[in-house]
Structure 1
Amino acid sequence: MNTFLISTGVVAVAEIGDKTQLLALILAARFRRPLPIILGIFVATVLNHFAAGWIGQQLAGMISPTILRWMIGLGFLAIAAWALVPDEMGEEEAQIKPYGAFLATAIAFFLAEIGDKTQVVTVAMALKYQPLWAVIAGTTLGMMIADVPAVFVGKWIAARMHILRYVRFVAAGVFVLLGVLALLGVAGS
């Protein structure tokens, strides 16, 4: 229980103001479907944190900081390019096919979490604490505590403002900035 609570608290605090909170807000503004977005966040987080925990236990210290920095930077630039691709699905189709919001969220969150500070925290927690399932459950709950409120704020903003046209440009700009900073080694995730 101690491992679970520590993991939850550490990730909930680490996630405050993180780029994935912005991503949750953007996805909520785009899709206006909180349940598939929340489920996408949950699935992506479980998969990502399981991988991070497993890697933390199996391969501690084998990836150099330089290689990790390049992986993070190039990943952010790829996400930026993806964000610029206009959606082919209209608002009506998004309402009919709820898996569109789910898949978009799951993929975006999984990729955004690669090399993110919460993933690094998960690796560190898995190195220090056992059992692995308690670390993963705790870090996942911490992520949900931090990101689910952003989903509802994004939905609220989208209902009151016509911002959907600009969401992909803002998202691309944020991820380009993060990618360039990571490649330059100026800022950590």
Structure 2
Amino acid sequence: MQAFLIATGLVALAEIGDKTQLLAFMLAARFKRPGPIVLGIFVATIFNHALAGAIGGWLTHFIGPVALRWVLGLSFLAMAAWMLVPDKLDEDDAPKPGHGVFVTTVIAFFLAEMGDKTQIATVALAARFPADFIGVVSGTTAGMMLANVPAVLVGGKLAQKLPVKLVHGIAAAIFAALGVATLAGAGESLGF
């Protein structure tokens, strides 16, 4: 349950103002069909984060506990710094309709999430909680949905009201705290 809650909270905060959330706003404005967009985001996120979680779990088999602790701790600190860099989505990055709203959303979200902050966070969280793959992937997916469903349903009105810098600052602080705790040996009982 701990992995699920941490993953949900971190990804929900990290997703505010992220390029995939901007993509959700863009899809909602372009297609005006929230049902297939939300379902497409869910499907793309499950596949993308399951892949990221599998990579994180795989890493734990090849990196020793001490090295893994350093890699994870430094990764969380890097994520904290990355959270402070605002994302943007260019009009050229906007998905072009052609395969229907659902398929367009799945493809656009899956590709946009590749190498994104939340995907990297999923890899690190899966490595941090190797015994709870389901908790991590379901948590990161829940976090994505918590941030993106309102973006699809409420659109631009919500974007103007959120204090994005404050939310990113909070997420950065949480990632930094996880990094410091990991480097200090907070996960030693788990083998890190």
CA shift, 1:16, in A, is: 1.0
Q: What per-residue deviation string (whole Å, max 9, x for no partner) do you get for residues 140-172 of structure 1?
A: 000000011110123879xxxxxxxxxxxxxxx
Asked if the contact 2:12/2:143 (under 8 Å) is kept, the reply is: yes
Q: Taking structure 2 as the reference length, what is the TM-score of the superposition?
A: 0.61
Amino acid in the other structure paired with 2:16:
I
Q: What per-residue deviation string (whole Å, max 9, x for no partner) do you get for residues 60-101 of structure 1?
A: 699xxxxxxxxxxxxxxxx9767486x4x6xxxxxxxxx711
Counterpart residue number, 2:32: 32
Residue segments in structure 1 that go unaligned for 5+ positions in a row? 63-78, 90-98, 158-189
After superposition, the Cα gap between the structure-2 partners of 1:82 and 1:14, relative to the gap in structure 1 and judged at 3 Å, is closer
Structure 2 residue matching 1:17: 3-state secondary structure = coil
Residue segments in structure 2 that go unaligned for 5+ positions in a row? 64-89, 159-192
Q: How does 1:74-153 map to 2 (within 5 A)?
A: 83=94, 87=97, 100-129=100-129, 130-153=131-154
Amino acid in the other structure paired with 2:120:
V
Q: What per-residue deviation string (whole Å, max 9, x for no partner) do you get for residues 95-150 of structure 1?
A: xxxx7111011100000000000001000000011310110000000000001111
Counterpart residue number, 2:57: 57
RMSD: 2.6
C-alpha separation between the residues in 1 aligned to 2:146 and 2:93? 27
Asked if the contact 2:26/2:94 (under 8 Å) is kept, the reply is: no
Quick one: percent identity of the two aligned structures? 58
Q: How many residues align?
A: 130
C-alpha separation between the residues in 1 aligned to 2:122 and 2:50? 9
